[in-house]
Amino acid sequence: MAACERCWRDAHTGPSADVSANYARLLIERSGPAACTPEEQAGDAATQCKTCGRCTVHQHARICMVCSTSDEVSR
């Protein structure tokens, strides 16, 4: 499972020095209608998925956050 890059980045600037606690809190706060988009989850260095065409291939996990296709990237 790939981490949400937006939440991970934001966890480093939260109210406590405990990044993992901040990350867990953000995942709960940003669920349902407030959830991060697949593009935000994939990160700033995400690449385009050859299967669904969206720029949602996770920058580290190399899996599409929309269709779960792995290693289907276009650079």
- pLDDT tens track for 1-11: 789 999 999 99
- Domain ranges, residue 39: 5-74
**What is the per-residue DSSP string for 7-62?**
HHHHHTTSSSS-HHHHHHHHHHHT-GGGPPPHHHHH-TT-BEETTT-SS-B-TTT-
What percentage of the chain reaches a pLDDT higher than 70?
A: 89
Domain count across the chain: 1
Summarised one tens digit per residue, pLDDT across range 9-23 is 999 986 667 899 999
